[in-house]
Structures are given as structure tokens and as C-alpha cells.
Structure 1
């Protein structure tokens, strides 16, 4: 390192304590080293200034001025400053850092000409790459470095980490804030733009991991060219056109940008190229990271900043700094100590100073009376911006650490040469314990460093409102504060946000496809990110009541989905009631045969002494008619609101009464058979013919059914119940059968009796009988068995009140079949053909 660099712009102000600084405002484009020839010593082939970054130098100087004027901080001592620029070039960063340490125009390592000019700490840099290069040197000498970059430099060495302090919050909080901001507005389909280097890749990997954990998808990732790519301007121009065309046509409304200095320079170049070539306007909501700011350079004076209208960015929480604007208004461009101001002045006001080695034909002469407030805000602002505020706070942090050390040394100071105190000039490494535990209150507010050497403060969320005259407003709309309880860390007032004009003040949608409407749910698209999906209708029985639901859900048991499947409606309570036509019809249908049965019974009682009534056991006939009457009437138990008593009686009464009916028919059948067999000479069957046998058949057969019903009622009886699932839109009030097996036993036994009766009657149908009763019993049992065999599938295939109606109809039909086939022929003879109801006719038939 025998030859100094050509451009050694610096800002030097003497003082008892010197605070060094590395800022980043001059961009130098230098030749790349090919290692095939001796490197060009004139590294600064071309350079220009990021005008707004000059404020970083001024905030440094203003903090030093305030501290020197404050008698409460370092009394009797003055602060000085010594600032170099990084030129965004590693070679120059190393050169200038060494110059700060050894105070030489010609860098001589480890040679200190003047101990008093050695900086106590160095503030820099403004991005992680510059900070890393500075830290690699300062860590060796244990000199404190206070950095103002949000993304901490990757320093693996323990010594480097122990000398580094960050005047910004932990970068993890910013990542969390970005995710919370996207989730707040339900932005699930976003793009990412970063610089194409390791820092950009780290940003992408960290953010994509958090995106995937929170259901956010990355629509695209675009990487801006690095500084080394700027040498080939043709390729760079084509790259910018390609990216601009992609962004203009992308179906993405939100894009996250890592607002690193070079990245923002490249991005603004891209927008300038797009606009100058008539590309389509790029309309998105830009979400910028910390330190984003408009920084238009002389090359971009014509750029329309309306592209950033409605953008959102994060900023380190800061307060207004009183007196800073006045400080800017009295700047003197002819200052000897500030080597930056003249370069800034010439580029900002497009003029040259009379003593400058530049052509004066095309530029005006700088008078020094130009006003900074006349510059457009994208070039320079009169209020302190976020990153300048971090530098301002960093100077105060070093000053308060020195003050704390001074107070300690003064209390325990060593006396030499009589009453004279040893001069207070600490070694650099002695400042570390005080920086690690420092808390201070500068003119703008409280500051505190945590155990990691990071600033404890919040991030503000800023909404950018731009105007056609290149002016803009920063509107604070929210905050991300990691110090508060978890549920309160993120807050935002979306009512005061100004959105890009494209969205007409409506919160933009950022989805791979539109929300699924209520009644639909998401179904993932094959081969697409999980944020991309198809909308499919909810299946039968399920609904979705909100937009964008991942799945449909069932309604509560007492509700059912509407036709659109987007709402649950209350189910109707239903049962077979006397108030509806079906219930009334079945009731009338039960009463009519009941009256008919009663009429038949009356006819038989009135003609009880006639041969046709006496022929087949008169008492047995009365029993059958009474039980049929009860059968018709028991069907009324099935109509009406189910109650505990009616539930107990429904099936048991039906089962027992029907068993009596079938038993009576069976007894009649046996009576026919036994009567025929008893007429044979010497037959022993005579003793079986009579009332005792018939009564025994009825009692024994009915008792078994009664026993089944009794066991049923004692073990698992029927009870009133609500069936909410059988019908989609109705709640069925029913009698739960309790034990379904017992109900099957009841029907099975009744069917068994009917089958036995049918078989016996079938074989006895041709026996000589006066009125051929066996044939009529056969037909009645055939109807009975047909009805109940049909009942089983019909009963199982219906639900609700229709299931009850099927059973009622089966009871009425089977009872009517027995009544009709057995008693209609006899009534016909009794009423219409009384001449046949005589002993003469009976003997004639017998013979």
C-alpha cells in the first residue's frame, strides 16, 4: 500500500476525543482486476454522489456540535470527528479505515504519529458489506465500531463480534414486521426484489422460510445487478429492460424490496430506464425495508416518483431533532474541514466553484448562497431522515460512554506530580464495557443498547405519498415494537393509508387467484405453489360461510345448509301430526275401519243365534272382531307428538293386539281342521273341539308376545327422541325404539304366527265346510303376510313421519285384509242373503 488513492475526500474537525466515521455517499466505478496486468492505481475511473446521503455526514457533525455545546456531557472536553467515504469499494474501505487508525495521508500500518488524533471509536458503515470490511480491521485493534446497518454484518470471529455495536434494532424484528404486515392485509402472493449477491440471498432465504410458515407464497424473485455488473452498460441496460417488462406485466400487486443502498440505486435506474423507453407503468404496492428513502441522483432528475405513490416502508423509530434544519441553513460550502460539501454542492446545484479544475463553459459558478431547501426532497431533505438519525444517535452513544468512563476515572483518578491529575485519555478497548451498558437521553429521546449491542427501539411503518412536483410526505401508519407483549407488537391504522391510484383507495388484493366465495372451498392446483388453488363447491351437507376458506364444514346438528351452501338454516321440527293432511288422512283411515269393525261386531251380536255365527265358535269370532277393532284404534297412538307413554304403548300394544288377532285366526283355522276330523267315526278329536281349546291357543300365543314386550319395556324401552341426522332440513321428533332387536323379535314372532296360520289354512282350504271359512282365512293370511313383508323394506327406506305412516298403513291394511276376507262374506249372507243363514241350508251343504 505504497500509493494513496487519488480521491481522499474527508471531513476533519479537531477535538480532544476524535470519533471516526465511514459514510457511503460517493459511488466509484473502477476497473475490475484481471490479474493479467498491473492494477490501475487510479481506481476512481468515474464517480458520483448519492446526494441525500450527504445528510449522514451532516447529522454526524450536528451531533458533535450539540454535544460540545452541552455542559452536561464531557465537560471541559471537546469532541472532534474524522470521516472518510467508503466509495462502496472494499479496497477503498480498507484504505480509509487504516487512515483513520494511523492518521496518515500515506498509510503506514501500526505507526501512530500522533496519539491524540487516534479515534476512540468509529461509526460505520451504512450497509452490512461496508460494516464487515470495517469490522475486519477494527476487531484486530479492539476499537469499538458502532454500525447503523439493519442487516448485521456476518462476522464469525469472536473478537470482531465483541467490538461491534448496532444503533438499529435486531433485523429479526423487521422480518417479523414484514410478515405481520402482509398477513394483516391478507397478502399471500407477493414478489421479492433483492440485490444479486450474498446479502440478497440471505434476505430471500430468511423471508421465504417465514413466508412458508405463515401461508405466504413468493410469486417471483428478481435480483438486481451488482456494482461489478455496471461496467458492461449494454448488458446492464438489457437486463433492466427485461426486468421492467416483467414487472409491468406481472399479475402481482405487492412486492417486497430489500432497500439496501446499491439495490435501491439499481432499482431506481431500472425505473428510469423503463420510463425513458416507454414501457408500461409498473403499478404495485412496494413494501420497503428499513432505510428506504428517495435518493434521486443527477442522472435521474427526470424520473417520475409517482411509481412509489402509496408505498409502505419500515423505518427506525425516531423523533424530530430540534435545530437540525437551522444547522443546514447556515452551511458554508467554503468550509475547510468539510471535504464533502463542495462535491455535493456542485452536483446538487449543477455548478462549479471558481477554483475547480473543471470546464466552466457548460456550468454556472457556485456562489455559496444557494439554498438547500430549494432542492427537491428526493435529492435532499431538510429534516433528519431515518438513517441519519441512527448516525446521530451513534455519536451520542459514544459520547455518553466516554462521559460514563470519565466520571469513573475522575472518582478514582491517580495523582501525579503533586496536585496534578493524569490526563484522561483512555485506551480504545476500555470503552467497551461502557458501550455495552449505556443508556442515554439525547435531545430526541431515550436510547438503550441491549446485551447484544443492539438498539432497543421500535420500527415505524411509513406510508409514502408522492406528488407530481417531486415532493412527498411520510405518513406514519403503524408500528412494530418487539418490546411489548406478543399480541400487541404489531399495530397499523389502515384508514389513513394512501394506496396507489390504480386501486382507487381500496386495499389491494395480493392472491394467486381471487378468494373463493362462500359456498366454495380451496383445492390445490397440481404443480403450483400452495397459494394457488381452484374453487370447488362444498359437498352435500357442508358449507363455507366466508371468503377463501380452506375447507367446508358441517352445520350444527340443529341446522342445515341452504341451497347456496354458504349459510346454515334452522331445521324444522317435524312429526306426524293431526294438524297436517297426512295425519288427518291416516286418522280418518283408522276410524273408518274401526267403525266398520264395530258395525260388524254389532251385526254378529244381533244375529248371534243364527247358524252362520254359531258355526265357528261365536266367542272366538267376538274376540277376533274386538282385537281387530283395537288394532285399528292402536294406529292412532302413532299420530301426534311422541310422549313417553305413547312411545311405550305404540309397538307393545300393536304387537300384543296383533298377536291376539293372528292367534284368533289360527284358533279358527284349527277349529275347522278339528271339526272335520271329529266328524269321522271313532275319532278321538271330539274332546279337542270346544271353547277350551280355542281359548288356550289364543292365551298361549298371545302370552309369548306379551312376554317379549314385557322384557323389552324392562330392559331397553322405547323413548321420545330427536333425530337430527336422518333428514337434511328437519329434526324428527320420534319414538326411539330403544332395543331394535326386541322390535325385530316382536315382528318376527308375529310373522311366525301368521305363517303357521297361513300354512294350516292353505292345507285346510278344500275341507268340506259349511261356509268355507278356511279358504277365506287363507286369503286373509296371504294379504297379511304380503303387507308385512312389504313393510320391512318400505319402513327401512323412509325417514321421519313417513316411516310412521308406513307402519300405520301396514297395520290398517293387514287388519282390513283380515276383516274383509273373513267377515265380508258372512255379513253378505246375514244381511243380503238371510235365506242361506239357516239350518236347512247348513244340512244341505253338509250332505
Structure 2
């Protein structure tokens, strides 16, 4: 069986291409009659993908008109179709290399132009099938849409390049997108193939690690070929489980090739619409979905499900997509407006595209002409709805455009390096020496150039595009068209965990959502006064909210800082360095909050931060207490006549003490993080019945170094406060600081043996208790007497009373 759609244009140097545009009917062979009897020449055109072909032609024409690139040679091209089938991909790739009537591999006619590089394919299957053939002959292949992980093996696929970034960045983007909108209960939809397996194996551990649960996982046989007289895609609707229909997950991640969207809009969305209608009739609130699509997916349609998709495209309103980065190329839209079927005899794709796009026939002699009418040939592509054809350059077309330029730049460097492309005296082009395809690899491996849109196009050491992704929002219109608005990006150069930047204000959600952004949770968050309780047999994102035990919950906030700010101009607040008091109160507040970092699943963010943050914050608190105590002593000594200490009294000394003492602890923690930072780990020895997730401290010596420095500051503060405890009350709070330091030291001295004698999760509990107890001791001993006077005995909170007490 030989099926071909091709477009050939002659040139001094020829670029090959395998695109995915036409879908043929491939019936199963029954062996009861000759296979050719079952074949029906009725191709299905994925109309939007015709732009991929035009993008390649546009790029070649643009290069041939540019005197700065290959000035002494012209580029030609030869485009074939993969027909979305591996068998056709193998056949057409060989036919591209060894064009002959009898299809003889390794045989090249004398006048046949050698292919110097091939662009393709769109999908992982197409790209890998092409690579099997092209790799043998070391011909450069640049894929414009494949993320196939197996082709990352540059020993086996040394000739393979791709104009898409590494897919790991997309996985990170999906996770960060879900975390950004706090979607913790999400659905996953993938094809039932190797790429879908790889996606699930990669994304599910990442979801678990970030506290996100998969509500359901739908695996679909995403076949678009005929089986008898009915599309297999219809049969696949039987596999659509009730989990999807009943799930509360409002966020659904769709992974797969572009044809996945046909399955979604042709089968899944009609089921959803029926359910929504039934819910409305039953008086229930309809459950809408937020669709999150991967970069491989484009919003496409074909004539089989066109009427269904015209209706259901509205359901995709508000979809958020990780898309291949693209920019508008100057003059490309004008180029598309000039595309007509007349005068395009070399274009073997346009006939079926034009007829299926405009519902007419280009030939008066066909049956279709009598049914649908004859095409005028003056129809305009810009009048086609967006799901069928776009006038702006899509991400895949942008990749093809850049791939053509990458090959052209590599050829230009090759021609310039040895001056093998020259003109004869009479001006005719002459190719003095053949350019072998394998010679281009050394140039492609380090290719870097700026395209006409201003983007820097660079391939990294793995042959992948060194770039990022766009985040787009789908906005639909009643006329079945849509626009994709860029609302963010994924930047691989950003710090880890910060790759995603998104402008939520630009997103237009589905009109039916009453809350934006919508929620996607297994159950609502627990209200104050309730605690989470695990549901047996359910995922950790699903929990019950039980009332907290009596006496274990308070709905009142810690208001000491507020009291001191409100009464900041009173005598007792101003008596002993008001600024130091604020610093101490803020640091104590952070000390209480530090305990929250010890709760929950250990991860790469909390493990390094929780011990270092705890050490630094407590050091600031202890430094503030030490500064307050020293200030009390110096203030009393400065009252003596002719005292030389008076020049030391003031805020500068206090701030210097806080800063210098805190900086030392910061240095210790920074050295700890730089040399042996804490990291997430598991303990399989403390308990024989369970595996405990915990934070490995990295360096135990550094951990006790942090505690030791805190102990040093506490002992110094206690000593100074103890010696100053008998100074007049109006000048000092040393008595209360002495008590607070006594409590603090007692807690942490008892912490060390207790901590060393416990194992597993109880070690964390001991540390949390020590943090809360010592923080409460400092807060209570130092500030309770002052709060008592401010709130209960305000008549004592004046300068006269303080002086009288001193006398």
C-alpha cells in the first residue's frame, strides 16, 4: 500500500520534513480478500496542522530571500506526512531519503538531491520512528513537538535534536501551578501508552511530595483509526469510568498528544454536559472543571466531531495551558492570507485541506461537488474558526520555523568554514563540494542565533531547546472561536521552586464559577476549633474535621505586641528602650511560629530552614534581652557624678549588641547549610511497624553548635541580670529577666538528655515542646508584670509613680 501526500520544491540544498496532518483509514486485515480491496481513500485532515507545513515553506522562502544566510545557495524542501501511523512514518522517511519508483533503500538516482537534514515529527511515536531510520545514516533530525524521554539517549539517538525544552520543567510547572491556586485534589487524564506511563510515574511522586492527591486517573486508548465503520474513539467512551463523573476534583490535568483534545471534546465533554444538565434539573449546583493541559496539546478539531466540538469548545473556557513558547513572526499572517489552491500544484496537502475546511469541492467532476458545491478558490483562511485554523503562529509552527533556521545557520557555517559554496563567473550557482549531513552535527550541537522575533534560539548539550514555556489562558467566544492569552511563563533559569511566574488577575475563569479561583479540594478546610482526622482507606487529602479537645483551643489571638504598640507613649513602655521591646516581642512571636515548621511532611524546603530559622530567631530574642539588661546596668552607673560610662548609654550600643550577637549565629547557620545542610530522610529502624519520614540534621555537630551558642547567650544574659537584680525597679526589669533566663536555661538543659534518649517522631515532639515552653517562659516572665500594670492598674503607669517607687 503506497499513500503519499508530499510537497517538493527544488533547491541547491534540500531539507526534508515529516509532518502529521492527514489521518488515513487503516482497516484491520482479515486475510479473506486482498488487502487493497478494503482500502478507502477518505483521509481525515487535522486542519490546524496545515499551518505547520506553511510555516516550513514560509521559513524557507524567507531564508532564500535573505542575502546574509546561504547567499550562494538556495534551500529546497521535501515534505511528507506521517499519517499518524508508525508504518507510514517508516515508509515515508525511507522514501524521503531514497526516492524511486520501486522504493529501493540505499539507492540514489544521479540527479536526486541529497537530504541534508530532516524536521519532524510532532508526536513521540513519529519522532522515534523517524530516528530509527535517520540515525543509521547520521542525518540530523530536529523534532518540533516530541518530549519522548527515551530519545534522550544520545548514544543511541546521536542525530536527534528537539526544538522543545526538557520536559522536567513542565512537570515542575504543573506542580507549581497547582500549589499557586491551592488545588490539592486533582484528576489526571493520560493516554494508555508509554508516554502516559512515564507521565504518571513522574508526576504522582511529585504530587505526593507537595501534599497534593490525585482524585482519579483516567487511562484512554486514544486511537483515531477506523474499526469497521465506526471510530474507535467512540468505543473508548466505555472506558470512561464513574470516578471522573463523581469526583469533586475541579482541576483536571490532561496529558497526551494534540489528538487527545479531540477525544476530550468529542466524548468526555458531552458526558459532562449531560451530567450538568441533570444536576440543574435536580436543583443541584453544576460542577464545572478547570482543564490544565500539557504543552504537547493544541486545541484542534476535525470534521468527524466538528458539530460536537463547536458546542463543547465553550466548556473549555478558562482552561490553563502550559504551551510551547512562541512569538508572532512578522509577515507570517500576510503569507497565510495569500494562500490559495490555484497555482499550488506542488502542494499535495492543500486539496483535502481546502475541501474539508470550506465544505466544497475543488473539482466539478466529483460527487462532492454536486452535494456541497464547487470551491471558488477565493475562500479566506482568516474566516475559519480558531479550532480549525489559526492566523497567528502556533507554538509547533514556531518550532518548525526555528528548526529550519537552525539547519540553515548550520549549513551557512559549514559553507563559510571552507568556502565550499561559491558562484561561477557567469553568476550561476555552483555547488563545488557536497555537504554531507553528518558534518552538520558539530555545528548543531552549539547552534545559537537570534530569530526575526528577537528570541535567542540555543540548543543545549542534550540537543534540547534551552528555553522555557508559556502559560496561557483559553478564552472562548460564542462563534466557536477562542484566543489564548499569555498569563505567565516557566523560566528554567529561575531559582529552584520559582520557575513559575503567573498573573492571576489576567485569567478569565469559566463564567459558571461562583468563586475565583475555584477550589479543588477533597473536603473544605477545617474551621478554627476543629482538627483534621484521617479517614481510613482514603488519601491523606481527605480528612474529617473533629472538634478540638476541651482546653486545647483558643479563638483569641496573642495580643502582647498590640498592647505595647497601643500604649507606646506610656511611661512603663518607654522606661527601658521601647525599640528593643518591639524587637523582642516580634522575635518571640516568630519563636512561637517556628514550631509550625516542625509539623507536617519533611521536604527540601522545611528541613534546612526549620533548625536554622529556630536558631537565628531565638538568638535575636536572647540578644535583645542581653541588650536590655546591659542597658539597665549602664543607665544606673551613668547616674553617678563624673561617670565616663554616660557616653556609652543610648540606642546605638543596644542595637550593636543585638546585631553582632545575631550575626554570629547567622554565620554558624550559613556554614551549616553550605557544608552539610539538613535533608528529608526516612527512619526504618525506630519502629518495626512503620517507616518514619524525618529530617536528617546533616551535621549533628553543627546542630549542637547552634544550641551551644544559644546557651552561651542565655548564660551571659542570666549572669548580668542576676547581678543587676537589686537595682531600683523604676530603672530596670532585671529581676524579671533573671526569672525568664532561669526558665529558659532549665528548659534547654533538660532538652538535651531528653532529646538524646528519644527516637523517631518523638524527637520532633520534644523539640517543639522545648520551643513553646521556653518562648512562653520569656514572654510570661518579662511581660506579664508590665501587661498587668498597663491593663489592670493603669493608674500606676505614669512617671510620678515610677519616681515615687524609686524613692
TM-score scaled by length of structure 1: 0.61
1:240 aligns with 2:237: yes
Within the candidate set 544, 548, 569, 1:534 is matched to: 544
Indicate the residue corresponding to 1:450 in structure 2: 460
The answer as to 2:393 corresponding to 1:384 is: yes
Q: Deviations over 1:765-819 (max 9, x none)?
A: xxxxxxxxxxxxxxxxxxxxxxxxxxxxxxxxxxx9xxxxxxxxxxxxxxxxxxx
SS in structure 2 opposite 1:218? strand
Range 273-282 or range 359-368, more displaced:
273-282
8 Å contact kept, 2:25–2:41: yes
Whether the 8 Å contact between 1:188 and 1:511 is mirrored in structure 2 is yes
Q: Does 1:340 align with 2:320?
A: no
Cα distance in 2 between the residues matched to 1:208 and 1:324: 41
How many angstroms apart in 2 are the aligned matches of 1:339 and 1:412?
31
Q: Using the alignment, how far apart are the partners of 2:562 and 2:15 within structure 1?
A: 82
In structure 1, the partner of 2:250 is: 253
Distance of 1:239 and 1:447 partners within structure 2: 40
- Give the count of matched residue pairs: 562
Name the residue aligned to 2:482: 472
Matches within 5 A, 1:492-511: 492-504=502-514, 506-511=516-521
Distance 1:8 1:239 in 2: 29
In structure 2, the residue matched to 1:568 is 558
8 Å CA contact 2:448, 2:459 repeated in 1: yes
Change (3 A) 1:358 1:41: same
- Shift in alpha-carbon separation, 1:413–1:242, aligned structure 2, 3 A: closer
Counterpart of 1:181? 177
Matches of residues 189-228 of structure 1 in structure 2 within 5 Å?
189-227=185-223
Partner SS for 1:307: helix
Summarize the Cα distance change of 1:30–1:197 in structure 2 as closer, same or farther, 3 Å threshold: same
CA-CA distance at 1:317 after TM superposition: 1.8
**Aligned to 1:536, what secondary structure does the other structure show?**
strand
User: Which one of 403, 412, 416 corresponds to residue 394 of structure 1?
Assistant: 403
Q: TM-score, normalised by structure 2?
A: 0.64
Matching of residues 27-46 of structure 1 within 5 Å: 27-33=23-29, 39-40=35-36, 46=42
C-alpha distance in structure 1 between counterparts of 2:497 and 2:43, whole Å = 48
> Secondary structure of 2:351's match?
helix
How far off its partner does 1:525 sit?
1.4
Q: Distance in 2 between matches of 1:501 and 1:151?
A: 34
- State whether residues 16 and 116 of structure 1, in contact with CA within 8 Å, keep that contact through their aligned partners in structure 2: no
Displacement of 1:354 in angstroms is: 1.8
Asked if the contact 2:421–2:431 (Cα under 8 Å) also holds between the matched residues in 1, the reply is no
Say which of 48, 64, 88 aligns to 2:84: 88
Q: State whether structure 2 residue 20 is matched by structure 1 residue 15.
A: no
Partner of 2:605: none
Residue pair 1:464, 1:474 contacting (<8 A) in 2 also: yes
Query: 2:66: which partner in 1?
Result: 70
Cα deviation for residue 293 of structure 1 reads 2.6
Unmatched tracts of structure 1, length 5 or more: 544-561, 574-715, 721-730, 738-799, 801-847
Tell me how large the CA RMSD over aligned residues is.
3.6
Q: How far apart are the structure 1 equivalents of 2:13 and 2:481?
A: 40
Larger Rg: 1
2:571 — aligned with what?
Answer: none
Matched, 1:297 2:302: yes
Q: Which residue of the partner structure matches residue 95 of structure 2? A: 99
- Cα distance in 2, alignment partners of residues 430 and 134 from structure 1: 19
Alpha-carbon distance in structure 2 between the residues aligned to 1:433 and 1:140: 17
Is the 8 Å Cα contact of residues 195 and 262 (structure 1) preserved in structure 2? no
Which residue in 2 is equivalent to 1:797? none
Aligned position for 1:168: 164
C-alpha deviations, 1:375-394, integer Å up to 9, x for none? 11111111101111111111
Contact 1:177 1:480 in 2 (8 A): yes
Instruction: Choose from 286, 307, 310 the match for 2:315.
Output: 307
Displacement of 1:178: 0.5
Residue 58 of structure 1, CA deviation: 0.5
Deviations 1:680-739 (A, max 9, x none): xxxxxxxxxxxxxxxxxxxxxxxxxxxxxxxxxxxx99x99xxxxxxxxxx9x99x99xx
**Which of residues 477, 489, 492 in structure 2 aligns to 1:482?**
492
d(CA) in 1 for partners of 2:179, 2:67: 49
Indicate if the aligned counterparts of 1:16 and 1:79 stay in contact, CA closer than 8 A.
Answer: yes
SS at match of 2:363: coil
For residues 513-662 of structure 1, the aligned pairs below 5 Å read 513-539=523-549, 542=552, 562=554, 564=555, 567-568=557-558, 570=560
Corresponding residue for residue 56 of structure 1: 52
Distance apart, 1:240 and its partner CA: 2.0
Deviates more, 1:231-240 or 1:481-490: 231-240
Distance in 2 (CA, whole Å) between partners of 1:217 and 1:397 is 42
Cα distance change on mapping 1:101 and 1:49 into 2, 3 Å: same
Contact 1:16/1:80 (8 A) holds in 2: yes
Whether the 8 Å contact between 2:27 and 2:226 is mirrored in structure 1 is no
Q: 1:238 to 1:434 in 2, by over 3 A?
A: closer
Identify if the C-alpha distance between structure 1 residues 430 and 360 changes in structure 2 by more than 3 Å, giving closer, same or farther. Answer: same
Give 2:289's aligned residue: 284
Change beyond 3 A, Cα 1:88–1:483: same
Gaps of 5+ in 2: 278-285, 564-721, 727-736, 744-780, 782-807
User: Cα–Cα, structure 1 residues 272 and 175, in superposed 2: closer, same or farther, change >3 Å?
Assistant: closer
Is 1:463 the equivalent of 2:465? Answer: no
Structure 1 residues 500-550: Cα deviation after superposition (integer angstroms, max 9, x where no partner) = 12223511111111112233332221111111112233445655xxxxxxx
**Which structure would you say has the larger RCO, counting Cα contacts within 8 Å and 6 or more residues apart?**
2
Displacement, 1:322?
A: 0.6
Residues 287 and 311, structure 1, Cα contact 8 Å, conserved in 2: yes
Secondary structure of the 2:125 match is helix
Distance across 1 between alignment mates of 2:499 and 2:368? 56
- 1:398, distance to aligned residue in structure 2 (A): 0.7
Alpha-carbon distance, 1:314 to partner: 0.9
Cα distance in 2 for residues equivalent to 1:405 and 1:35:
52
- Equivalent-residue separation in structure 2 for 1:403 and 1:356 (angstroms): 48
Distance 1:62 1:501, change over 3 A: same
Moved more, 30-39 or 131-140: 30-39
Equivalent in the alignment of 1:678? none
- Does the 8 A contact of 1:225 with 1:266 survive in 2? no
Q: Is the 8 A contact 2:252 2:290 kept in 1?
A: yes
> Residue 207 of structure 1 aligns to a residue in which SS?
helix
Report SS of the residue matched to 2:369: coil
Distance change in 2, residues 1:339/1:225 (3 Å): same
CA contact (8 A) 2:259 2:297 kept: no
Q: Distance in 2 between matches of 1:329 and 1:491?
A: 35
Q: Is the 8 A contact 2:98 2:108 kept in 1?
A: yes
Whole-angstrom distance in 1 between the partners of 2:122 and 2:345: 25
Residue 155 of structure 1 and its aligned partner are, at CA, apart by 3.7
Residue 216 of structure 1 deviates from its aligned partner by 1.0
Q: Identify if the C-alpha distance between structure 1 residues 421 and 114 changes in structure 2 by more than 3 Å, giving closer, same or farther.
A: closer
Structure 1 residues 242, 413: CA separation in 2 closer, same or farther (over 3 Å shift)?
closer
